[in-house]
Amino acid sequence: GAGVSQSPSNKVTEKGKDVELRCDPISGHTALYWYRQRLGQGLEFLIYFQGNSAPDKSGLPSDRFSAERTGESVSTLTIQRTQQEDSAVYLCASKLTYAGDEQYFGPGTRLTVT
């Protein structure tokens, strides 16, 4: 079946603009994650959704970052007033249930802030 999809695949924006990144998880997956990956770095946890609630937002770097999820489907990560240090690949992952072990990643959105 279809995997996790993310859009856009690439986004170039000017400093100070807002951006919205989209994630479509695997159908039926209740758990959804957002991660940030800076160039050559590991995965930095941003936020976790169970259904449409976010019990763990501890990884969001600042109040410029927010995320929503509609039911058990699409999630959007919004970055307001982008800064150059926001440049990174933003990865979304989903898994079947809260207690499940296997998470599946999307291809990521490469964000470049000029």
Partner 1 sequence: QQQVKQSPQSLIVQKGGISIINCAYENTAFDYFPWYQQFPGKGPALLIAIRPDVSEKKEGRFTISFNKSAKQFSLHIMDSQPGDSATYFCAAKTSGTYKYIFGTGTRLKVLA
Contact positions toward partner 1, by CB under 8 A?
4, 31, 33, 40-43, 45, 48, 50, 56, 91, 93, 98-99, 101-108
Q: Is the peptide bond before 55 cis (omega within 30 degrees of 0)?
A: no
Cα 75 to chain centroid distance, Å, stands at 8
Of the pair 15, 38, the CB lying nearest partner 1 is at 38
Distance of closest approach, residue 16 Cβ to partner 1, in angstroms? 27
Closest separation in Å from C-beta 84 to partner 1 = 21
Closest CB to partner 1 among residues 40, 71: 40
Give whichever of 14 and 40 is closer to partner 1, judged by the CB atom: 40
